[in-house]
A and B are shown apart, each in its own frame.
Chain A
Amino acid sequence: SAVISQKPSRDICQRGTSLTIQCQVDSQVTMMFWYRQQPGQSLTLIATANQGSEATYESGFVIDKFPISRPNLTFSTLTVSNMSPEDSSIYLCSVGARLAINTQYFGPGTRLTVL
């Protein structure tokens, strides 16, 4: 399995500001994903981070609000822009397993609180 780290692990931000979350993997992976999770609830997929091209967003998520970068096969960032208290959540990155794309491994998450 891949080792995935996220920075920051948590942050408290003011309304109207932006936060960029980093996801680093210890090996090259094809698939990287970003999720949002309310505490105690399930995961909602925000987008698939594509290396060398624009991310693929799920219904209800747009690039202006959640710009994503994927400069190489081991790194991605998710920015939460113009934040409001409704953006308070846990943000998780995941990667598809190299030999089994149907299997995903998750980072530890970033807990975001917007005041």
Chain B
Amino acid sequence: TQLLEQSPQFLSIQEGENLTVYCNSSSVFSSLQWYRQEPGEGPVLLVTVVTGGEVKKLKRLTFQFGDARKDSSLHITAAQPGDTGLYLCAGHHGSSNTGKLIFGQGTTLQVKP
């Protein structure tokens, strides 16, 4: 079974703090995506990374794809209450043309004002 191990599962921090969420696997992914989901809504795509070592920035969010394309991280700088939500990583294996994604377990982030 191809798994994505996501950590931590829960994170509660104060506004202004920094945080990092990790997504790790023993398998190589052709691409990896990060989603954020708020209660009552579907996951919203934040970013897709496809190249080993790739770094993408989205305002205060920095996404990195590992050199070997087996892991990824999401770093949030100066977190705000609006960042609260469930963060999901999801990967696609290059050997598959089904379009199916493998999801991590998710990280629930709470940013307190």
Contact = CB atoms under 8 A, between A and B. Distances in A.
Nearest to B91: A102
Contact of B98 (A48, A94, A100, A109): A48
A41 interface: yes
Contacts of B43: 43, 92, 106
B42 interface: yes
B86 interface: yes
Interface in A1-49: 1, 4, 30-31, 33, 39-43, 45, 48
B105 A105 contact: no
A101 interface: yes
B101 interface: yes
B45 A42 contact: no
Interface residues of B, number: 27
A107 B42 contact: yes
Interface of B: 6, 30-31, 33, 35, 39-45, 48, 86, 88, 90, 92, 97-101, 103-106, 108
Interface of A: 1, 4, 30-31, 33, 39-43, 45, 48, 56, 92, 94, 96, 100-109, 111
A94 to B, nearest CB: 8
A40 B108 contact: yes
A41 B37 CA distance: 11
A110 B30 CA distance: 30
A102 B86 contact: no
